[in-house]
Amino acid sequence: MNYQGILSDIYNESVKKQERGEVANYIPDLAQIDLNKFGMALVDEKGTLYTCGDAKEQFSVQSISKVLTLSLAFRLVGDDLLQRVGVEPSGDPFNHLSLLEQEQGKPRNPLINAGAIVVADILVSQLKNPKETFLEFIQNIANDPSITFDTKVAQSEKKTGFRNYAAAYLIKSFGNLENDVDTVLDFYFHQCALRMSCEQLVNTYYVFANRGKCLQNNPYLDLAQVKRINAIMLTCGFYDEAGEFAFEVGLPGKSGVGGGIVALLPDKFCVATWSPGLNPKGNSKLGMEALEKLTTKTRLSIF
- Site for ligand GLN contains 191 (CB under 6 A): no
Alpha helices in 161-298 (DSSP H): 162-173, 181-192, 198-209, 223-236, 242-248, 285-298
What is the nearest approach in angstroms of ligand GLN to the Cβ of residue 201?
Answer: 14
- Site for ligand GLN contains 282 (CB under 6 A): yes
- Site for ligand GLN contains 113 (CB under 6 A): yes
Residue whose beta carbon is closest to ligand GLN = 63
Among residues 125, 63, 118, 62, the alpha carbon closest in space to that of 87 is found at 118
What is the nearest approach in angstroms of ligand GLN to the Cβ of residue 188?
Answer: 7
26 is catalytic: no
Backbone angles phi, psi at 134, to 5 degrees: -65, -45
Residue of 44, 121, 150, 157 interacting with ligand GLN (CB under 6 A): 157
Residue of 62, 210, 230, 273 interacting with ligand GLN (CB under 6 A): 62
Scanning residues 164 to 183, which ones bind ligand GLN (CB under 6 A)?
A: 164
- Site for ligand GLN contains 150 (CB under 6 A): no
Of all helices (H) and strands (E), which one includes residue 254?
strand 253-255
Q: How far apart are CA 81 and CA 95, in angstroms?
A: 21
Residue of 59, 94, 220, 245 interacting with ligand GLN (CB under 6 A): 94
Q: Catalytic pick from 37, 66, 106, 254?
A: 66
188 is catalytic: yes
118 is catalytic: no
- Provide the 3-class DSSP secondary structure of residue 142: helix
Closer to ligand GLN by Cβ: residue 233 or 257: 257
- Site for ligand GLN contains 63 (CB under 6 A): yes
Environment class of 216 (CB within 10 Å of its CB; exposed 0-12, middle 13-18, buried 19+): exposed
Closer to ligand GLN by Cβ: residue 44 or 150: 150
Among residues 42, 39, 14, the alpha carbon closest in space to that of 258 is found at 39
What is the nearest approach in angstroms of ligand GLN to the Cβ of residue 24?
Answer: 8
- Site for ligand GLN contains 85 (CB under 6 A): no
- Site for ligand GLN contains 275 (CB under 6 A): no
Q: How far apart are CA 292 and CA 209, in angstroms?
A: 18
Environment class of 40 (CB within 10 Å of its CB; exposed 0-12, middle 13-18, buried 19+): buried
**Beta carbons of 56 and 272 less than 8 angstroms apart:** no
Q: How far apart are CA 261 and CA 295, in angstroms?
A: 14
Residues that bind ligand GLN (CB under 6 A): 62-63, 94-95, 113, 157, 164, 192, 256-257, 282
**Active-site residue list:** 63, 66, 188, 239, 257
